[in-house]
Amino acid sequence: MKFKRLWPFLLLLLLLSGCGIVEPNTAKKTATPYRQDPTQGVFTAKVSAKQVAQLVHKQLPHTQLLKISLNKQGRFYQYQVQARSKKQYYRLSVNAMQPIITKQTHTQLSRTNAKREVLRLTGLKSLNAIKQVAISEINDGHIVGYTLNQQNRITSYDLLIKSRAHHTVRLRIDAKRGNILERQQVGKL
């Protein structure tokens, strides 16, 4: 009988003291394994490689693109671009969240860079399509960076994937056909 009269008072004391009554969390806990989204890092970039190419051509109209890479710089993703003109070799950094060139340097064009193949961006599969190829090959990791490169007349995505199995894998995928050209384990995490 005494307990029934004290119950509201005890409840008020519990609430005032910060303890409160907490409903148990009955919602199912859904872990987000790498398998569901193996590309979480790279795909936070709001600027595409195509937009980067357009920005570079707007800034430097008579240049040819040689390479476009997306990698983490500190806490943020940045595109690193290599381009050339008749006499100059350019390195540019582009913000991956908004199409802004954050850094631009140039040097005299070397013989090596003059001979490099020009990056061809027509007819390429989307990065999402390439992601599906990567998932089918390595389903326990996530893409942390990629490079669009041209070698032997083949435009390729070179993906850097960190795997849950504690290693890093580089996948080279044909950007037009979507087939895997090379797989290489490059190190432990």
Return the pLDDT at 8: 58
Which span out of 5-9, 38-42, 172-176 was modeled with the highest average pLDDT?
172-176
Predicted structure pTM score: 0.74
47-77 pLDDT, tens per residue?
999 999 999 999 999 999 999 999 988 788 8
pLDDT higher than threshold 50 for residue 138: yes
Give the residue-averaged pLDDT of 13-37.
39
Integer Cα distance of 2 and 92 in angstroms: 78
Strand order in 76-84's β-sheet? 101-108, 88-95, 76-84, 64-73, 141-151, 154-163, 167-174, 180-188
Q: Is the pLDDT of residue 121 over 80?
A: yes
Q: What string of DSSP letters covers 12-34?
A: HHHHHTT--------SPP----T
Residue type, 106: H
Confidence of residue 111 (pLDDT cuts 50, 70, 90): very high
What domains does the chain contain, in order, with CATH numbers?
A: 42-188 (3.10.450.40)
- Locate 10 and state its tokens: 């005890």
Residue 82: pLDDT over 80: yes
